[in-house]
């Protein structure tokens, strides 16, 4: 009995020539990596930005240790080179990231240091606003800010809750250039009038927030963007982000590594900011 066998199929020299094995050269590999880095840098520079919450001024909306992705496009001035992008002006109720209008000290060369902040936008240009017993009243209408800390007999503070009718406290937290000197010129019949091109910001943690009641209006050009979502949240305190120096940074990094799983707020991962 003859055993049948299936002959092996081999490629002809012509087929090998038509389908050569192409290997990526080291130069091409580096070029690919550079392309990815350039695209990532473009996104982080022009389209989105990472922002970490360093204080409790926006609790319970945002917690210390929340890491946010910030949309830098929607609230940016319209650009002709990106005609398909949706732009809009900031509006009441938006949570926005902006550059603080007054400096927080100076650097070693004497240059002013301007930090990024995140607050809720309360007043837009032309608004007449005041607070009575912690309630924000804009153009004669009481506003509902459900995320804001309520005012109670225990936490009532005249300057904060009856703004701007009560004089500011004698405190270094209140700059002489704003609440103690400048803001009276913007008060008309008991209302603070928001000037053109300016915005009034407040933290949701109303009684633990240094905001526009202290340092004034935010110019339109200072607004950077709006937070989209929380991509990672780690249990932290205000003091953790006040530490400076290489030693403190290394200790904090070690703490994060050791407690990553136990102190990560997993329920806030990809939590939408609103």
User: Per DSSP, what are the bridge partners of residue 229?
Assistant: 69, 272
Instruction: Report yes or no on 100 lying in a domain.
Output: yes
Instruction: Report yes or no on 157 lying in a domain.
Output: yes
Residue 248's pLDDT band (cuts 50, 70, 90): confident
Q: Which of 141, 129, 122, 272 is nearest to 206 (CA)?
A: 122
b/e sequence 81-102, b meaning 16+ C-beta within 10 Å:
eeeeeeeeebebebbbbbebbe
CATH code for the domain in which residue 96 is found: 2.10.109.10
List pLDDT tens digits, range 51-66.
999 999 999 999 999 9
The answer to whether the pTM exceeds 0.85 is: no
**Average pLDDT score over residue span 186-200:** 94
Instruction: Report yes or no on 55 lying in a domain.
Output: yes
Instruction: Report yes or no on 9 lying in a domain.
Output: no
What pLDDT, on a 0 to 100 scale, did the predictor assign at position 86?
73
Query: Looking at the predicted structure, is the pLDDT value of residue 133 above 90?
Result: yes
**Average pLDDT score over residue span 215-241:** 93
Least confident stretch, 13-22, 71-80, 124-133, 165-174: 13-22
Total domains in the chain come to: 1
Residue 49's pLDDT band (cuts 50, 70, 90): confident
Instruction: Report yes or no on 20 lying in a domain.
Output: no
List pLDDT tens digits, range 138-184.
999 999 889 999 999 999 999 999 999 887 777 666 666 666 667 77
Residue 243's pLDDT band (cuts 50, 70, 90): confident
C-alpha span between 242 and 62 (Å, rounded) = 18
Angle at 158 between CA 157 and CA 160, to 5 degrees: 70
List pLDDT tens digits, range 8-42.
555 555 554 555 555 666 655 555 555 544 444 44
**Average pLDDT score over residue span 264-274:** 93
Q: Which domain covers residue 70, as residue numbers?
A: 43-272
Instruction: Report yes or no on 228 lying in a domain.
Output: yes
Instruction: Report yes or no on 73 lying in a domain.
Output: yes
Instruction: Report yes or no on 10 lying in a domain.
Output: no
């Amino acid at each position: 009995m003859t055993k049948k066998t299936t002959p092996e199929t081999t490629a002809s020299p012509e087929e090998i020539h038509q389908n050569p094995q192409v290997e990526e050269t080291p130069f091409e590999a580096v070029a690919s990596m550079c392309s990815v880095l350039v695209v990532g840098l473009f996104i982080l520079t022009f389209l989105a930005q990472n922002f970490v919450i360093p204080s409790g001024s926006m609790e319970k909306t945002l917690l210390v240790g929340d890491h946010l992705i910030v949309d830098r496009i929607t609230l940016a001035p319209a650009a002709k080179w990106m005609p398909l992008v949706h732009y809009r002006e900031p509006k009441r109720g938006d949570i926005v990231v902006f550059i603080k209008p007054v400096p927080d000290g100076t650097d070693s060369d004497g240059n002013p240091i301007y930090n990024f902040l995140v607050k809720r936008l309360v007043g837009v240009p032309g608004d007449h606003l005041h607070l009575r017993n912690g309630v924000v009243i804009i153009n004669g209408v009481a506003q509902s800010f459900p995320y804001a800390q309520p005012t109670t007999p225990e936490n009532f503070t005249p300057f904060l809750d009856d703004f701007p009718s009560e004089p500011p406290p004698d405190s270094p937290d209140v700059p002489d250039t704003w609440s103690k000197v400048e803001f009276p010129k913007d008060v008309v019949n008991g209302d603070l009038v928001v000037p053109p091109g300016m915005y009034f910001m407040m933290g949701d943690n109303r009684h633990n927030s240094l905001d526009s009641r202290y340092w004034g209006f935010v110019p339109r050009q200072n607004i950077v963007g709006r937070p989209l979502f929380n991509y990672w949240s780690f249990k932290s305190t205000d003091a953790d982000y006040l530490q400076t120096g290489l030693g403190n940074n290394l200790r904090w990094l070690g703490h994060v590594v050791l407690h990553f799983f136990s102190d990560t707020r997993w329920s806030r991962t990809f939590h939408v900011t609103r």
